[in-house]
Structure 1
């Protein structure tokens, strides 16, 4: 049974630690996003400002991927994760200072997002070492389902908590989640040496000196490797296009205002996509045969934008929640497959850098998309902006889906499994 196969990963102690730490941080992050949306929109009354602040929870990751993701290949990955968590806890706590100027809030937010890049790269590179063989794909599926559940809980309760307490207290809760995550990683993960190339038994300092290039040169090398591989190129482009399907979350506060609702509805709207993601990940793993999953990637990517187009007709809140949830269901299903196929197609040496660049591109693409969505919402209205984002996602994904089909047809089959059903 699929459920039994999924539970197998929890027999690995280190995976339980990574899973718990990540779950805690994600829940705190979603609570912070609700708090920022309410705080900024309440101060400015501008959809563009609200979307711009939300974009800052994504956009700086591009710079973080360029400058910092290579740290996961040059230093001990556990220590990279701990350092990133500790510093982010400090800066998020500073964001909770009452009446902090908006410019200072934005600057602190940029630093917090930048530090997410090395953490993501180190965690992503460690996971194949923690989970061997088929356990890796199962771990990906478990993380996707539970992380989206944490987002759902964070968004759904976030509106209630922000309304009951204050945005500043919600931000302090996020700071605590980072601190606890650092403690869990420090206590529960084995201290591995700096990654070495095959046959390289040198010490940490020497290996770090000869690790894959960091900074801009390292990113250029990673992007070149991806761009010259038709399959990985198509997978990365499809993954980056998921940004268009995040626009509804960024516009939840102004959309709720458009329909005359309050902070509680903001949290529910933000929770719709994670709810769909949980359902989508489970359905994809449980009912779609492993041999057909890769072929469905392009179709699912394009289909994820279709429900958002119907927002053009200003549906009531219950129907809006359903549309956003269906979009999240489809986008998560295709994103799961692109992630698993990409990591398996990437060599172990330099994997942290490649994962960091790809993941940072996803986050940065989300930031660009929601920023555009905010401008469109101010020019027209939130419902129209969401519909346009969905239509753009459909058109661009359809084009990349054709390229993916050709690359997959002309090459040996990509490792298609995110999880074998049993």
Structure 2
């Protein structure tokens, strides 16, 4: 039996490969986000436009998740990941072209985000095959810790790099990260056959029917519906990242402070994932989901007091710690409750909903920041997130206490 620590997952060769590939692309993504925030805010001087650009790294994923995530169930999942990475590398390189019009930059960004949906679905569907049993939850925790660490490093150093070099160089770095991810996956991940598909109508009709069936299945399953609702509400807790540039400017700080503010949430996420899996018993985790979802909004609400950069970083980190812990458990329970045959589509729809919810919340935050100021917008996002999460927590408590599925109960309340 594998060791009891989180490091046990690194004994699985394919996990190491998938983990490394994800690390490359995440670090590049965060560097690019800092570059876009500085580039767009520098050109327009508008908090709304900065939020729009940031939202475009999220919103198109809703369409991509609904229409493209099924590719992870129709084709070889390794190939889906590789093709997506190569295409995104080319498109991000185009974004680095000097003086590219703002509308063209946004259009290419939409395509990049759309292509991320099948990649996310294929990767998420592979992990349960690569990590059996208890290793799967440990793998999720390790991914959360390391991905947030990569975001932390990308954001913290991104502000310095953008200030020292240029946004275009940072975007080229992101393109290289996608290319590295494709190479690593091609070399180190086994070429598994595509999931077995039941005979039926043509690809387009079958895909649309499959999407509809998947959405109906989630919507009519009380436990999974409650989990998805809580996961989507995490979007309110991403608003601070989108407003980091105008928030720093409001405080009289520069690009380096933008990176530090954007790094606060990943810093909290690293601590949250580690503390949650290391010290909270498995049987207790599911019961804490709703409470932590509500509590994650409180630190952001305190930004109404307009604290300086150091205290703001602390508040945003605490929010990130709580939101990551509850999101980690919702993901694990949802995936375990979903059959393998439709897992790619279900993960894609759920994950894309999270991303789209983040984009919608960011847009609303940008509108409010333009109408008032960034600190007020961040505080409002925290209050809304907490209030709505309270409703989701009630739905989750009721669904979890009455769920008839033994498989689902096992997923949410396993012993160590």
TM-score, reference length from structure 1: 0.95
Q: After TM superposition, give the deviation of residue 3 of structure 1 in Å.
A: 8.9
Q: After TM superposition, give the deviation of residue 414 of structure 1 in Å.
A: 2.8
Out of 276, 281, 287, the position equivalent to 1:289 is 281
Q: Is the 8 A contact 2:283 2:414 kept in 1?
A: no
**Aligned length, in residue pairs:** 412
Match of 1:414 in 2: 409
Which SS does the other structure have where 1:414 is aligned?
helix
Structure-2 change in CA distance of 1:3 and 1:191 (3 Å): closer
User: Where does structure 1 lack aligned partners over 5 or more consecutive residues?
Assistant: 201-205
Match of 2:76 in 1: 76
Partners of 2:329 and 2:413 in 1: CA distance = 6
Stretches of 4+ moved more than 3 A in 1? 206-213, 415-420
For 1:71-150, list aligned pairs within 5 A.
71-150=71-150
Q: Is the 8 A contact 1:280 1:332 kept in 2?
A: yes
Partners of 1:387 and 1:212 in 2: CA distance = 45
Partners of 2:69 and 2:217 in 1: CA distance = 16
Partners of 2:413 and 2:129 in 1: CA distance = 17
Match of 1:267 in 2: 259
Structure-2 change in CA distance of 1:260 and 1:94 (3 Å): same
Partners of 1:337 and 1:382 in 2: CA distance = 31
Out of 318, 323, 330, the position equivalent to 2:322 is 330
For 1:290-369, list aligned pairs within 5 A.
290-369=282-361
Structure-2 change in CA distance of 1:348 and 1:293 (3 Å): same
Partners of 1:3 and 1:262 in 2: CA distance = 46
Match of 1:192 in 2: 192
Partners of 1:313 and 1:234 in 2: CA distance = 33
Structure-2 change in CA distance of 1:347 and 1:388 (3 Å): same
Higher mean C-alpha deviation, range 285-294 or range 263-272: 285-294
Match of 1:241 in 2: 233
Match of 1:203 in 2: none
Q: After TM superposition, give the deviation of residue 296 of structure 1 in Å.
A: 0.4
Which SS does the other structure have where 1:227 is aligned?
helix
Q: Is the 8 A contact 2:61 2:113 kept in 1?
A: yes
Partners of 1:48 and 1:317 in 2: CA distance = 21
Higher mean C-alpha deviation, range 219-228 or range 380-389: 219-228
Query: Do structure 1's residue 218 and structure 2's residue 213 form an aligned pair?
Result: no
Q: Is the 8 A contact 1:56 1:110 kept in 2?
A: yes
Partners of 2:196 and 2:166 in 1: CA distance = 47
Which SS does the other structure have where 2:340 is aligned?
coil
Q: After TM superposition, give the deviation of residue 362 of structure 1 in Å.
A: 0.3
TM-score, reference length from structure 2: 0.96
Partners of 1:3 and 1:255 in 2: CA distance = 45
Q: Is the 8 A contact 1:151 1:274 kept in 2?
A: yes
Out of 333, 356, 378, the position equivalent to 2:370 is 378
Which SS does the other structure have where 1:233 is aligned?
helix
Structure-2 change in CA distance of 1:188 and 1:121 (3 Å): same
RMSD: 1.9
Q: After TM superposition, give the deviation of residue 207 of structure 1 in Å.
A: 9.7
Query: Do structure 1's residue 176 and structure 2's residue 176 form an aligned pair?
Result: yes
Q: After TM superposition, give the deviation of residue 134 of structure 1 in Å.
A: 1.1
Partners of 2:93 and 2:144 in 1: CA distance = 27
Q: After TM superposition, give the deviation of residue 196 of structure 1 in Å.
A: 1.2
Q: Per-residue displacement from partner, 1:73-112 (whole Å, max 9, x unpaired)?
A: 0111100000000000000000000000000000000000
Q: Is the 8 A contact 1:307 1:324 kept in 2?
A: yes
Query: Do structure 1's residue 22 and structure 2's residue 17 form an aligned pair?
Result: no
Structure-2 change in CA distance of 1:106 and 1:139 (3 Å): same
Partners of 2:61 and 2:399 in 1: CA distance = 28
Q: Is the 8 A contact 1:51 1:250 kept in 2?
A: yes
Query: Do structure 1's residue 397 and structure 2's residue 389 form an aligned pair?
Result: yes
Q: After TM superposition, give the deviation of residue 256 of structure 1 in Å.
A: 0.1
Q: Is the 8 A contact 1:246 1:370 kept in 2?
A: yes
Q: After TM superposition, give the deviation of residue 341 of structure 1 in Å.
A: 0.1
Q: Is the 8 A contact 1:73 1:353 kept in 2?
A: yes
Partners of 1:417 and 1:27 in 2: CA distance = 31
